[in-house]
Amino acid sequence: MDRRHGPFDVIGNLASLKRYARSLVRNNADAEDLVQDALVKAYERRGSFRKGANLRSWLFAILHNTHVDTLRSNRSRVRRDGATVSEAEHTIPASQEDIVHLRQVHEAFMRLPAEQREALHLVAVEDLSYQQAADTIGVPIGTLMSRVSRARATLRTFEQATTRKAHLRLVGGDDD
């Protein structure tokens, strides 16, 4: 045991950890990341290290477990991404006209006064109840309802002025 580093001599084991990590991931950059992640975990869990136990074995176990966790996480992400791609293959791309119109609606929404935009977003996009939205922004429910109503009316007017083909349906609003 090196007296300068004491019983928790992580630095003295760094070269071995890097070699083991390279054998696991076969890439120097990924090995460096793996060692760093493992050392962070070792530092966070240093209180669980039993005095007199083999530090090197403990660090190797943490490195190995970190590697296994990373592999599992990556496999899970690949499955989720694959499912997303599979669903995306069944969608139909929007026409250029629809893309332009959606951009115009977004711009009209962003031009709403902040209070109206905030209220409409909470109710129509985040699907909060009027009471939840009012509590969130700290206003009476009547004030929130008024802001939402004015925002919807403004967007409805915009929609009527710009669209001849389709009607934008505002969630929770009248669909006249």
Give the number of other CB atoms < 10 A from CB of residue 41.
16
Task: Assess if CATH 1.10.1740.10 describes domain 11-88.
Answer: yes
In the chain, residues under CATH classification 1.10.10.10 are: 96-162
Residue 47 has a pLDDT of 87
Report the alpha-carbon distance of residue 95 to residue 165 in Å, rounded: 13
In the chain, residues under CATH classification 1.10.1740.10 are: 11-88
The mean of the pLDDT values for the chain is 85
What is the mean pLDDT of the segment spanning 98-114? Answer: 90
Report the alpha-carbon distance of residue 54 to residue 135 in Å, rounded: 55
What is the mean pLDDT of the segment spanning 101-127? Answer: 91
Residue 162 has a pLDDT of 77
What is the mean pLDDT of the segment spanning 67-77? Answer: 91
Task: Assess if CATH 1.10.287.70 describes domain 96-162.
Answer: no
Locate 13 and state its tokens.
Answer: 């084991």
What is the mean pLDDT of the segment spanning 79-90? Answer: 77
Non-local CB neighbours of 157 within 8 Å, separated by 6+ positions: none
Report the percent of the chain where pLDDT is more than 90. Answer: 55
Report the alpha-carbon distance of residue 48 to residue 92 in Å, rounded: 54
pLDDT tens digits, 13-37: 999 999 999 999 999 999 999 999 9
Report the alpha-carbon distance of residue 51 to residue 1 in Å, rounded: 13
Residue 132, judged by CB atoms within 10 A of its CB (0-12, 13-18, 19+), counts as: middle
pLDDT tens digits, 28-71: 999 999 999 999 999 999 888 888 888 999 999 999 999 999 99
